[in-house]
Amino acid sequence: MALNPLKNERIIERALNALRDYAPDAKFKGKGLVDLVPQAERSMASRRRLVALDHETTAELAVREVEDEKTLAIISEIVDGVIGHEDFGDDSPLYEALGFVRRSKRKSGLTRGKRKSEVKEMK
């Protein structure tokens, strides 16, 4: 059974208010307000903790983003340094290990489409 937290919260609040207003001392199947209040408080405490965790998560995500930007900036400087270093450069195993394609392994990138006259001659 899937539970809807917002709907459940409304049901809990409504039941607490109804029992407080109309039957604070009554028992129904052996249960009453004195049984409901501590259990409802545990439910509400869990809800408050989840809200706090959501705030903590949001804050930590912001911290992670800032720290990742700083880390990536340092990596970018290192890559630039590797490219310009006389013992390494952009064709070194280190450059490739950093996740880049070595100069000697790059394709030319030059592509030329066939001319219409060449296509007609091929047929």
Is pTM beyond 0.75? Reply is: no
Going by C-alpha positions, the residue among 61, 53, 43 that lies closest to residue 3 is: 43
Q: What is the pLDDT of residue 110?
A: 74
Q: Are 76 and 69 in contact (CB under 8 A)?
A: no
Q: List, for residues 55-103, the tens digit of each pLDDT value.
A: 999 999 999 999 999 999 999 999 999 999 999 999 999 999 999 999 9
CA 13 to chain centre: 32
